[in-house]
Amino acid sequence: MEFAAFSGEKVIGGVAAFCPSPAILELRHIAVLPECQGRGIGTGLVKVLIEAGAERGSGRMLAVARNTSARFFRKLGFNAVPVAAPENPDFSMHGIFFIVMEKHIGKAF
C-alpha cells in the first residue's frame, strides 16, 4: 500500500506499508520534504494508511520508528511494543535507535 501527498503536481510526501498477514499492516516508510514538515502532511498520510488498513480488515499497524520520530507516532496513538527492534551500528553511533510501535486500527487483532 502506498500513498503520496502533492502540492500541485509535485510530490511532497509519501507513506508505504507492507501487509505481512491479513491482520497486520506494517508501516515501512514515511517521508515529507523538509520544507513541508510541520504542516500535518505526515499525520494525514498515516491517517489515510490507517483508514485503508482498517477497511481491508487489518487489526493493527506496526511501525519500526527511530527514537527521533517516536513522539510523532505516539501523538497518533501508537505505543511501544516490548520486542527487540532492529539494530544498526551506523545509526546507533549517532544516538539513533529503533522502537517497535503499534496501533490497533480495526476489530480483528
Contacts 24+ apart (CB under 8 A), 76-85: 76/43, 76/46, 76/47, 76/103, 77/103, 78/102, 78/103, 79/103
Q: Tell me the CATH number at 6.
A: 3.40.630.30
Distance CA 81, CA 8 (A): 38
* Count: domains in the chain: 1
Task: Judge whether 93 lies within some domain.
Answer: yes
Q: What's residue 7's pLDDT?
A: 96
Confidence of residue 60 (pLDDT cuts 50, 70, 90): very high
Q: What pLDDT was estimated at residue 3?
A: 97
Percent of the chain with pLDDT over 90: 70
Range of 52's domain? 2-104
For residue 109, being part of any structural domain is answered with: no
pLDDT digits (tens, 9 = 90+) for 23-33: 999 999 999 99
